[in-house]
Protein backbone atom coordinates (compact mmCIF):
# COMPACT_ATOMS: atom_id res chain seq x y z
CA UNK A 1 0.00 0.00 0.00
CA UNK A 2 2.86 2.35 0.82
CA UNK A 3 4.40 1.75 -2.59
CA UNK A 4 1.09 2.61 -4.28
CA UNK A 5 0.98 5.98 -2.50
CA UNK A 6 4.69 6.57 -3.16
CA UNK A 7 4.07 6.37 -6.91
CA UNK A 8 1.70 9.33 -6.58
CA UNK A 9 3.74 11.46 -4.16
CA UNK A 10 7.06 10.03 -2.93
CA UNK A 11 7.83 13.08 -0.77
CA UNK A 12 4.62 12.54 1.18
CA UNK A 13 5.58 8.93 1.94
CA UNK A 14 9.09 10.00 2.93
CA UNK A 15 7.64 12.51 5.39
CA UNK A 16 4.98 10.25 6.89
CA UNK A 17 7.38 7.35 7.40
CA UNK A 18 8.64 9.52 10.28
CA UNK A 19 5.13 10.07 11.70
CA UNK A 20 3.56 6.60 11.46
CA UNK A 21 5.29 3.87 9.49
CA UNK A 22 3.08 1.02 10.65
CA UNK A 23 1.69 -1.36 8.05
CA UNK A 24 -1.83 -0.61 9.29
CA UNK A 25 -1.40 3.13 8.76
CA UNK A 26 -0.49 2.72 5.09
CA UNK A 27 -3.18 0.09 4.54
CA UNK A 28 -5.90 2.38 5.89
CA UNK A 29 -4.53 5.42 4.06
CA UNK A 30 -5.05 3.55 0.78
CA UNK A 31 -8.48 2.21 1.79
CA UNK A 32 -11.66 4.09 0.73
CA UNK A 33 -13.40 6.05 3.48
CA UNK A 34 -16.66 4.60 4.76
CA UNK A 35 -19.69 6.92 4.50
CA UNK A 36 -21.12 8.58 7.61
CA UNK A 37 -23.74 11.18 8.46
CA UNK A 38 -25.23 13.10 11.36
CA UNK A 39 -28.92 13.52 12.15
CA UNK A 40 -29.93 17.18 12.36
CA UNK A 41 -32.03 17.33 15.52
CA UNK A 42 -33.20 20.84 14.65
CA UNK A 43 -35.48 19.16 12.11
CA UNK A 44 -36.13 15.60 13.30
CA UNK A 45 -35.44 13.13 16.09
CA UNK A 46 -32.68 10.56 15.80
CA UNK A 47 -35.18 7.73 16.30
CA UNK A 48 -37.47 8.86 13.48
CA UNK A 49 -34.62 9.32 11.02
CA UNK A 50 -33.06 5.95 11.82
CA UNK A 51 -36.45 4.30 11.36
CA UNK A 52 -36.84 6.01 7.97
CA UNK A 53 -33.37 5.12 6.69
CA UNK A 54 -33.00 1.60 8.06
CA UNK A 55 -34.93 -0.04 5.24
CA UNK A 56 -32.52 1.48 2.67
CA UNK A 57 -29.18 1.52 4.50
CA UNK A 58 -27.25 -0.59 6.98
CA UNK A 59 -26.51 1.81 9.82
CA UNK A 60 -23.94 1.56 12.60
CA UNK A 61 -23.92 4.07 15.48
CA UNK A 62 -20.78 6.20 15.83
CA UNK A 63 -19.60 5.62 19.43
CA UNK A 64 -18.61 9.22 20.16
CA UNK A 65 -21.60 11.01 18.58
CA UNK A 66 -25.13 9.99 19.53
CA UNK A 67 -26.53 11.66 16.38
CA UNK A 68 -23.91 10.11 14.10
CA UNK A 69 -24.01 6.92 12.02
CA UNK A 70 -21.79 4.98 9.66
CA UNK A 71 -23.62 3.79 6.55
CA UNK A 72 -22.98 1.09 3.96
CA UNK A 73 -23.74 3.59 1.15
CA UNK A 74 -23.58 7.33 0.54
CA UNK A 75 -26.65 9.21 1.80
CA UNK A 76 -26.14 12.42 -0.19
CA UNK A 77 -28.81 11.53 -2.75
CA UNK A 78 -31.60 10.94 -0.24
CA UNK A 79 -34.53 13.28 0.31
CA UNK A 80 -33.52 13.41 3.98
CA UNK A 81 -30.19 14.92 3.01
CA UNK A 82 -31.69 17.32 0.47
CA UNK A 83 -34.06 18.83 3.04
CA UNK A 84 -31.44 19.03 5.80
CA UNK A 85 -32.75 16.29 8.09
CA UNK A 86 -29.36 14.62 7.85
CA UNK A 87 -25.91 16.03 7.03
CA UNK A 88 -23.25 13.96 5.29
CA UNK A 89 -20.23 14.39 7.57
CA UNK A 90 -17.06 12.41 8.23
CA UNK A 91 -17.22 10.63 11.59
CA UNK A 92 -14.05 12.04 13.16
CA UNK A 93 -14.99 15.57 12.08
CA UNK A 94 -17.99 15.36 14.45
CA UNK A 95 -15.62 15.39 17.44
CA UNK A 96 -14.59 19.09 17.47
CA UNK A 97 -18.16 20.37 17.98
CA UNK A 98 -18.72 17.77 20.73
CA UNK A 99 -15.48 18.81 22.48
CA UNK A 100 -16.51 22.47 22.16
CA UNK A 101 -19.58 21.75 24.34
CA UNK A 102 -21.72 24.68 23.16
CA UNK A 103 -24.88 25.52 25.12
CA UNK A 104 -28.04 27.48 24.27
CA UNK A 105 -27.71 31.27 24.46
CA UNK A 106 -23.93 31.29 24.14
CA UNK A 107 -22.01 33.49 21.70
CA UNK A 108 -19.83 31.22 19.53
CA UNK A 109 -17.19 31.98 16.92
CA UNK A 110 -16.69 29.38 14.19
CA UNK A 111 -13.63 30.97 12.62
CA UNK A 112 -13.20 28.71 9.55
CA UNK A 113 -16.78 27.57 9.12
CA UNK A 114 -17.34 26.48 5.50
CA UNK A 115 -18.80 24.14 4.33
CA UNK A 116 -20.80 24.26 7.57
CA UNK A 117 -20.90 20.70 8.94
CA UNK A 118 -19.54 21.73 12.33
CA UNK A 119 -21.54 25.00 12.32
CA UNK A 120 -24.83 23.15 11.85
CA UNK A 121 -23.77 20.65 14.52
CA UNK A 122 -23.02 23.48 16.97
CA UNK A 123 -26.42 25.06 16.18
CA UNK A 124 -28.28 21.85 17.01
CA UNK A 125 -26.45 21.55 20.35
CA UNK A 126 -27.42 25.19 21.03
CA UNK A 127 -31.03 24.36 20.03
CA UNK A 128 -31.00 27.38 17.72
CA UNK A 129 -30.73 29.70 20.73
CA UNK A 130 -27.89 32.22 21.03
CA UNK A 131 -25.52 33.42 18.29
CA UNK A 132 -22.92 31.78 16.07
CA UNK A 133 -20.57 34.00 14.10
CA UNK A 134 -19.89 31.70 11.14
CA UNK A 135 -16.85 33.06 9.34
CA UNK A 136 -14.85 32.10 6.30
CA UNK A 137 -12.36 33.88 4.12
CA UNK A 138 -13.44 33.25 0.51
CA UNK A 139 -16.58 34.23 -1.38
CA UNK A 140 -17.16 30.82 -2.97
CA UNK A 141 -16.82 29.12 0.42
CA UNK A 142 -19.30 31.58 1.94
CA UNK A 143 -21.93 30.60 -0.64
CA UNK A 144 -21.59 26.91 0.27
CA UNK A 145 -21.76 27.77 3.98
CA UNK A 146 -24.94 29.84 3.62
CA UNK A 147 -26.58 27.13 1.51
CA UNK A 148 -25.93 24.46 4.15
CA UNK A 149 -27.04 26.69 7.03
CA UNK A 150 -30.31 27.41 5.25
CA UNK A 151 -30.87 23.77 4.31
CA UNK A 152 -30.38 22.68 7.92
CA UNK A 153 -32.69 25.33 9.38
CA UNK A 154 -29.99 27.22 11.30
CA UNK A 155 -31.40 30.60 12.32
CA UNK A 156 -28.77 31.80 14.83
CA UNK A 157 -25.76 32.10 12.50
CA UNK A 158 -24.40 35.47 11.40
CA UNK A 159 -22.16 34.85 8.39
CA UNK A 160 -19.02 36.96 7.98
CA UNK A 161 -16.26 36.95 5.37
CA UNK A 162 -13.01 37.86 7.11
CA UNK A 163 -9.48 36.59 7.50
CA UNK A 164 -9.71 34.69 10.81
CA UNK A 165 -6.92 36.83 12.28
CA UNK A 166 -9.37 39.76 12.14
CA UNK A 167 -11.11 38.47 15.28
CA UNK A 168 -8.14 39.20 17.55
CA UNK A 169 -9.60 42.69 17.97
CA UNK A 170 -12.58 41.21 19.87
CA UNK A 171 -10.81 40.48 23.13
CA UNK A 172 -12.70 38.28 25.66
CA UNK A 173 -15.88 38.25 23.53
CA UNK A 174 -16.88 34.66 22.78
CA UNK A 175 -18.03 31.87 25.11
CA UNK A 176 -16.77 29.29 22.62
CA UNK A 177 -14.31 29.46 19.71
CA UNK A 178 -13.85 26.75 17.10
CA UNK A 179 -10.83 26.91 14.80
CA UNK A 180 -11.11 24.06 12.33
CA UNK A 181 -8.02 25.37 10.63
CA UNK A 182 -7.03 25.26 6.98
CA UNK A 183 -4.53 22.42 6.72
CA UNK A 184 -2.73 20.04 4.38
CA UNK A 185 -5.78 17.72 4.34
CA UNK A 186 -3.89 14.46 4.76
CA UNK A 187 -6.90 12.97 6.55
CA UNK A 188 -8.92 13.44 3.36
CA UNK A 189 -6.63 11.34 1.16
CA UNK A 190 -8.91 8.38 1.84
CA UNK A 191 -11.73 10.37 0.27
CA UNK A 192 -9.82 11.57 -2.78
CA UNK A 193 -6.25 10.99 -3.96
CA UNK A 194 -6.09 14.56 -5.28
CA UNK A 195 -5.17 15.60 -1.71
CA UNK A 196 -2.19 13.26 -1.95
CA UNK A 197 -1.13 14.75 -5.29
CA UNK A 198 -1.48 18.31 -3.92
CA UNK A 199 0.48 17.68 -0.69
CA UNK A 200 3.81 19.51 -0.32
CA UNK A 201 6.11 20.14 2.63
CA UNK A 202 6.43 23.78 1.61
CA UNK A 203 2.69 24.18 2.13
CA UNK A 204 2.91 22.48 5.54
CA UNK A 205 5.42 25.10 6.71
CA UNK A 206 3.26 27.92 5.33
CA UNK A 207 0.10 26.54 6.91
CA UNK A 208 1.83 26.09 10.28
CA UNK A 209 2.65 29.81 10.37
CA UNK A 210 -0.95 30.71 9.53
CA UNK A 211 -2.38 28.23 12.06
CA UNK A 212 -0.29 29.77 14.86
CA UNK A 213 -1.65 33.21 14.02
CA UNK A 214 -5.23 31.92 13.88
CA UNK A 215 -4.98 30.11 17.22
CA UNK A 216 -3.54 33.22 18.88
CA UNK A 217 -6.35 35.38 17.46
CA UNK A 218 -8.99 32.88 18.57
CA UNK A 219 -7.55 32.66 22.07
CA UNK A 220 -7.55 36.44 22.43
CA UNK A 221 -11.23 36.52 21.39
CA UNK A 222 -12.16 33.81 23.91
CA UNK A 223 -13.76 34.83 27.21
CA UNK A 224 -12.10 33.76 30.48
CA UNK A 225 -13.43 30.31 31.47
CA UNK A 226 -14.50 29.79 27.85
CA UNK A 227 -13.53 26.83 25.66
CA UNK A 228 -11.65 26.93 22.38
CA UNK A 229 -11.19 23.91 20.15
CA UNK A 230 -8.40 23.78 17.59
CA UNK A 231 -8.70 21.00 15.01
CA UNK A 232 -7.28 19.85 11.68
CA UNK A 233 -7.86 16.92 9.36
CA UNK A 234 -4.14 16.33 9.03
CA UNK A 235 -1.41 14.54 11.00
CA UNK A 236 1.79 16.57 10.63
CA UNK A 237 3.10 17.70 14.05
CA UNK A 238 3.96 21.12 12.55
CA UNK A 239 0.24 21.73 12.01
CA UNK A 240 -0.89 20.14 15.26
CA UNK A 241 1.23 19.69 18.39
CA UNK A 242 3.58 22.50 17.35
CA UNK A 243 0.67 24.94 16.98
CA UNK A 244 -0.68 23.99 20.41
CA UNK A 245 2.83 24.21 21.91
CA UNK A 246 3.17 27.71 20.41
CA UNK A 247 -0.09 28.79 22.08
CA UNK A 248 0.97 27.33 25.44
CA UNK A 249 4.37 29.04 25.19
CA UNK A 250 2.93 32.49 24.44
CA UNK A 251 -0.24 32.64 26.59
CA UNK A 252 -1.72 31.36 29.86
CA UNK A 253 -3.82 28.79 27.94
CA UNK A 254 -4.59 25.44 29.57
CA UNK A 255 -5.38 22.16 27.81
CA UNK A 256 -8.35 20.02 28.79
CA UNK A 257 -8.74 16.26 28.37
CA UNK A 258 -11.13 15.03 25.66
CA UNK A 259 -13.01 12.20 27.31
CA UNK A 260 -14.79 10.36 24.49
CA UNK A 261 -15.04 6.66 23.51
CA UNK A 262 -12.63 7.03 20.60
CA UNK A 263 -9.45 5.07 19.85
CA UNK A 264 -6.42 7.32 19.58
CA UNK A 265 -2.71 7.47 18.81
CA UNK A 266 -0.28 8.96 21.33
CA UNK A 267 0.37 12.65 20.56
CA UNK A 268 3.86 13.51 19.35
CA UNK A 269 6.00 15.31 21.95
CA UNK A 270 9.23 15.57 19.97
CA UNK A 271 9.75 16.05 16.24
CA UNK A 272 12.66 17.20 14.10
CA UNK A 273 14.71 17.95 17.19
CA UNK A 274 12.02 20.14 18.78
CA UNK A 275 10.51 19.13 22.13
CA UNK A 276 6.90 20.16 22.76
CA UNK A 277 5.21 20.95 26.06
CA UNK A 278 4.21 17.71 27.79
CA UNK A 279 0.64 19.08 28.01
CA UNK A 280 0.14 18.25 24.32
CA UNK A 281 -0.43 14.67 25.50
CA UNK A 282 -3.97 15.83 26.35
CA UNK A 283 -4.68 16.42 22.65
CA UNK A 284 -6.59 13.88 20.59
CA UNK A 285 -4.55 12.48 17.68
CA UNK A 286 -6.52 10.08 15.49
CA UNK A 287 -4.84 8.05 12.77
CA UNK A 288 -6.96 6.35 10.07
CA UNK A 289 -6.48 2.85 11.48
CA UNK A 290 -7.61 3.84 15.00
CA UNK A 291 -11.33 3.99 14.16
CA UNK A 292 -11.43 3.46 10.37
CA UNK A 293 -11.97 7.20 9.80
CA UNK A 294 -10.09 10.18 8.43
CA UNK A 295 -6.97 11.22 10.27
CA UNK A 296 -7.79 14.04 12.69
CA UNK A 297 -6.33 16.18 15.47
CA UNK A 298 -8.27 18.00 18.20
CA UNK A 299 -7.10 20.18 21.08
CA UNK A 300 -9.47 21.46 23.77
CA UNK A 301 -8.29 24.70 25.36
CA UNK A 302 -9.52 26.99 28.12
CA UNK A 303 -8.56 30.48 29.29
CA UNK A 304 -8.09 30.95 33.07
CA UNK A 305 -9.76 33.93 34.74
For strand 130-136 and strand 157-161, is the pairing parallel, antiparallel, or unpaired?
parallel
Task: Identify the burial level of 261 via C-beta atoms within 10 angstroms of its C-beta, where 0-12 means exposed, 13-18 middle and 19 or more buried.
Answer: exposed
Decide if 233 is catalytic: yes
Q: Measure the CA–CA gap between 50 and 285, rounded to whole angstroms.
A: 30
User: Using an 8 Å Cβ cutoff, are 118 and 148 in contact?
Assistant: no
DSSP letter at 293? S
Within 13 Å of residue 287, how many CA atoms lie on the same side as its CB? 21
For strand 36-39 and strand 274-275, is the pairing parallel, antiparallel, or unpaired?
unpaired
Q: Under 8 Å CB-to-CB from 140, ≥6 apart: which residues? A: none
Apex 221 CA angle, 299 and 213, nearest 5: 65
Q: Measure the CA–CA gap between 136 and 81, rounded to whole angstroms.
A: 23
- The one catalytic residue among 65, 112, 183, 233: 233
**Strand (E) positions, 197-248?**
222-232
| Residue of 266, 286, 297 lying closest to 63 (CA atoms) | 286
Q: Measure the CA–CA gap between 165 and 187, rounded to whole angstroms.
A: 25
Q: Measure the CA–CA gap between 132 and 91, rounded to whole angstroms.
A: 22
| Residue of 261, 279, 280, 224 lying closest to 92 (CA atoms) | 261
Active site residues: 233
Amino acid sequence: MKSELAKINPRFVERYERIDDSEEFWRYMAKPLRPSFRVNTLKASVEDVVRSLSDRFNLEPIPWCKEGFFSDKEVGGTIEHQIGVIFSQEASSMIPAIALDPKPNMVVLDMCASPGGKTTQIAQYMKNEGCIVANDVKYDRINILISNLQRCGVTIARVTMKDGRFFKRYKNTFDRVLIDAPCSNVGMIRKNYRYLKMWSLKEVYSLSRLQKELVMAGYRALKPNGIMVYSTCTLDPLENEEVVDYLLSNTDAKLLEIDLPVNRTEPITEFEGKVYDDEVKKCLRIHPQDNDTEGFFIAKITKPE
